[in-house]
Amino acid sequence: MPLCILAALLLQSLLSVENQEIPTLKIQETLACIPTLIVGYYTKDLMKIVITGIITIALIRLVG
C-alpha cells in the first residue's frame, strides 16, 4: 500500500470529528500508537506490529 493511504488510515483512526467541529485526538488510541510505531520502525514485521497494537490497546483499556 502506498504510504499516503496508510497515513490517512492512521489519522482517521486517531481523530474524532463530531457535528462538524474541530477534530479531537483519541487519547487511548494515540497512546497505543506510540509503542506500535516504535516496534514497526525497528522490526518492520507486520505480525509484531499488529500484536503490539492489540496488546497495548488492551492494557490501556484494562487500566483505564
Set of cell numbers at residue 33: 500508537
The helix/strand/coil state of 29 is helix
Other Cβ atoms within 10 Å of 45 Cβ, number:
12
- pLDDT for 51-64, tens place per residue? 999 999 999 999 97
Q: Is the pLDDT of residue 1 over 70?
A: no
Q: Parse the chain into domains and list their residue ranges.
A: 3-63
Mean pLDDT calculated for residue range 16-34 = 92
